[in-house]
Structure 1
């Protein structure tokens, strides 16, 4: 095998692969990357139990001799990352178990990883495939990923994806809060079952292709889902644990009280008063009047903090209490300067309208 490839493109491809397929060295499963040269491409592949990645580099390459070798992923990625140069030469010798990587005056002779039998990638059903602008899909993921559960004991550690005839929706919850973001979608397939996506894999994928690939092709299957763009294919297992089907039931439909405020103002004051809130029981009380909200945080043995925020309040229930971290995390992702908070009672869920097609529901702390 012998090929010359653009260093920067090769570096970025390795970085994405080792993020999506990091390996599990503590279980004797270090990451490995298979490099294959064909007549017109340099192909990088890796997979583990949960994810399979294939990247084809077709620009700024010169494949001189076809061949294939599997190399240790983390060491390869670290070395290539610290190189500097325009091109990188890959070379193996007949009957050799090593690959030479040269860039500028720097060279690494890297011993091959143990041979791995990478499974062939599944066939994709074009009838269930749809396309979405990458920027829109990335925005939906960003809006909701913060609200997933931090552990996987209840199946809430994933992002639920729902596709209807004219829209795509992402949902996340940890049982104390719920984020729902949706966007119009052209030419969506009919009768597509909801899918729960692995948060880490999808977040890293959209972060890598955002601003570079205009369109993302999505192909849901029974136990896997495929994301692809020209030159990139990612298969990942979906989360099989059952996502709450009736999550929409907690979204307030009747709301007699409304509070409007600027997102930045409220977030800054929440951070301020939350400094005295105990980690074990984080809480901030909102005391509302027609044109202001007094934020109060009390921590026995530490002190009391208060702050004023301009608001427009309409209603009768004027005492609310929430976990300040939940509010701050939601406000950070708002797409509009002015936020509306609506609710029925102090002990019922509150709905924050954070932008077009973006709602955030937070359970209160009973006053």
Structure 2
């Protein structure tokens, strides 16, 4: 194998696929990146796969002699990222697993492993389906849901985002047991679908958050059009230009989150979102000194809300904001991180806080624009 490519392109693509390299590989080859040089297409392909998540990319290169090899991901990344921004030559002698990398005045030799040891990326079964999902709707949905997934592996199904699609909308839902984020985004126009494609909209899957964070990075490079998605009962494949992301789906039934969201509220507070974020950011400095909890007092008479934190023997603080309040006065408390996460994800200038009591679920919704609900459980106040 012999090829020449730009250092910047090689670095960027190595960085992308490396995110699918196993951190603690059960077999040495899972710590490697597979490199395939195709003479006919003059393309260089890179693949990383940890048996759950796989990322495959391709980009143009001057392929003089075709071939394949796997090389240690971290070492390859560390070397290539430090090379000068010039052309990189990669050579592997036939039947060998030693690669020679030259760039500028540098010459490096890396020991690799045969591609025969590298596992094949999963394929979708014949009874699998295809869907075309709009890139911008995916980005909006992931921005508003990924942060609410659980990191607790004992609640595995909650470590993913539940995605459903029908003829007119996409819905993303994520919960960690303390908060719930649900957002609906528009489905794509038929014009966005390739001619002759069979459009499927019956989609309901739970996708690991880790895979979706990598998908988000890929999508941010392409903010228009639609991407093809192939899926069956256990796998999902996202095809985006010369990039492919493969992920296992999470087993088990996702909670019936829709029934958790109250439909009637005794109190409603409308407030300017960025002003509330700024006030919460300031007062959270004191909350960090205590228990990361902020108390919110809702005053219907003065039409304002007040955020306060009391850290005994240290300090106390209060921030007041104008608001449109309907319903009786109320004092309620929240975990500052959970509240801040939701406020940052809501896609509008003004939001409405919908609530019943100091111990029942509270729902934050944007005013105008995307349909989204962020449910957060309050923290019990002990006097």
Same fold by TM (over 0.5)?
yes
Alignment partners' CA distance in 2, 1:212 and 1:96: 38
Matches within 5 A, 1:229-308: 229-244=240-255, 246-277=256-287, 281-290=291-300, 291-308=303-320
1:91 aligns with 2:105: no
Give the Cα–Cα distance (whole angstroms) in 2 for the partners of residues 257 and 87 of structure 1. Answer: 64
Range with greater deviation from structure 2 (177-186 or 113-122): 113-122
Q: Tell me what 2:109 maps to.
A: 109
**1:9 shift after superposition:** 2.1
Partner of 2:196: none
Partner of 1:74: 74
Distance 1:26 1:67 in 2: 26
The answer as to 2:346 corresponding to 1:366 is: no
Does the CA-based 8 Å contact 1:161-1:195 persist in structure 2? yes
Any idea what SS the aligned residue of 1:197 has?
strand
Cα offset, 1:127, TM superposition? 6.8
Q: C-alpha distance in 2, partners of 1:29/1:174? A: 34
Is the CA contact 1:286–1:320 (under 8 Å) kept in the aligned structure 2? yes
Deviations 1:207-259 (A, max 9, x none): 13313363322222211111111211121111214321x21112121023111
Look up the match of 2:194. none
TM norm structure 1: 0.91
Alpha-carbon distance in 2 for matches of 1:304, 1:286: 14
1:119 corresponds in structure 2 to 120
1:15-72 Cα deviation digits (max 9, x unpaired): 1111122441588675211111112121112212212222222x3x211111111111
Q: Report the CA distance between 1:308 and its aligned residue.
A: 0.9
Contact 1:149 1:174 in 2 (8 A): yes
The CA deviation string for residues 123-159 of structure 1, in whole angstroms up to 9 with x for no partner, is 4669721222323212211111111112121231111
* 2:150 alignment counterpart: 149
Residue of structure 2 in register with 1:4 after alignment: 4
SS in 2 for 1:140: helix
Counterparts of 1:213 and 1:316 in 2: how far apart (Å)? 45
Q: Secondary structure at the match of 1:154?
A: helix
- What's 1:185 paired with? 187
Equivalent in the alignment of 2:18: 18
Aligned equivalent of 1:338, options 347, 350, 359: 350
CA contact (8 A) 1:126 1:219 kept: no
Against the structure 1 CA distance between its residues 167 and 94, is the aligned structure 2 distance closer, same or farther, given a 3 Å change threshold?
same
Q: Which stretch of the first structure deviates more once superposed, 81-90 or 20-29? A: 20-29
Contact 1:161-1:168 at 8 Å conserved across structures? yes
Equivalent pairs, count: 363
Deviations 1:310-346 (A, max 9, x none): 2111111422221122111111222211111112223
Q: Among 218, 221, 235, which residue is 1:224 paired with? A: 235
Distance 1:6 1:209, change over 3 A: farther
Closer, same or farther: CA 256–213 of 1 in aligned 2, 3 Å: closer
Q: CA deviation at 1:94?
A: 2.8
Deviation at 1:164, TM superposition (A): 1.6
CA contact (8 A) 2:21 2:73 kept: no
Corresponding residue for residue 323 of structure 2: 311
Q: Residue 18 of structure 1 contacts residue 31 of structure 1 at CA under 8 Å; is this kept in 2?
A: no
TM-score, normalised via structure 2 length: 0.87
1:92: how far off? 1.2
